[in-house]
Structure 1
Amino acid sequence: MTSNLGADHLVSGLTGEMTMQVARDNAMKDAKKHFRPELLNRLDEIVMFHPLSHEHLAKIVQLQVKNVRPIRRWLERKVVTDISMMIVREEIGDDSIVCIDVNEAKTDLVYRIDKNVVVKIEQTLDVVIHSGNKRGRSNDEDHIVTLTKKIKNEVVVID
């Protein structure tokens, strides 16, 4: 069982308005006021969770980013290879957009090719993967502008 009772006291302790020991004591007082003694007596232990430090949060973010990179590389490799093969087989033309989804079994990617597509500037796209950006720019605005001007061998990933 968990509760957020006393969380405001712990925040006050973190911001320096009171010591952490006083904050913990106040949180325990709130728990004793809120829960009946019969319930509290049945509990073996009350554990006060400690807030994460900036160092802990930074480590968590690093682990999350590290775990995303292999997935991104796999997707780029898989998508680029598949799209390249479609271009070689002339399944994708200058005015085509490729929409990518996952199959029902969630084991492979499914490609839908929309041909003779005219993109309006008002349209928004979640992710755009280019076959190459000759101008050296990489921000999303440039990708969308490039896509609206020319749709040659561009890949649009829509979730």
Structure 2
Amino acid sequence: MTLSENELRQRLGAIEPTTATYAGIGPGEVDALRTLLGDKEARLAARAVHALGLIDSEPAHETLLATPRDPRPEVRPSLAHVAERLPVDLSDQVLAELLNDPDIGVRKFAIRSVGPRNAEALRAKLEQLSHADESQGLRRLVYERLRSSGGGQVNST
């Protein structure tokens, strides 16, 4: 049974979402989730991104590919968080943009989502960030991420 936009709004608007919040959401809800992604309430839009990340369909993937350019800082970290669960090609495309995001919080979540399955170019980007990111804390996070995933040789700075 397809959930209506109002039903999705109620579910995703819960104060504390759980696994049950996203249960049963599938390809039939993509259009309603796109609408919620455009909602003025950024928290709801971020949860719509999370729900879209759980749907393995071309329309959901196309929507997610446009999301790294969303101006709201609450939405892009949600995308970075779900990127590790996306098909690898989609994950690579999304993370390539998010690793360059001007918001430090977005970059932090993107760094955490890059793993051994991602393209070598993303791990090379992490290597670059380990030396060039303006934030010492993020440089340290990159170093730890690369070290724990066995990718790249970095010097902590």
Rg comparison, structure with higher value: 1
TM-score, length-scaled by structure 2 = 0.23
Which structure carries more strand by proportion? 1
Structure number with higher relative contact order (C-alpha < 8 Å, ≥ 6 residues apart): 1
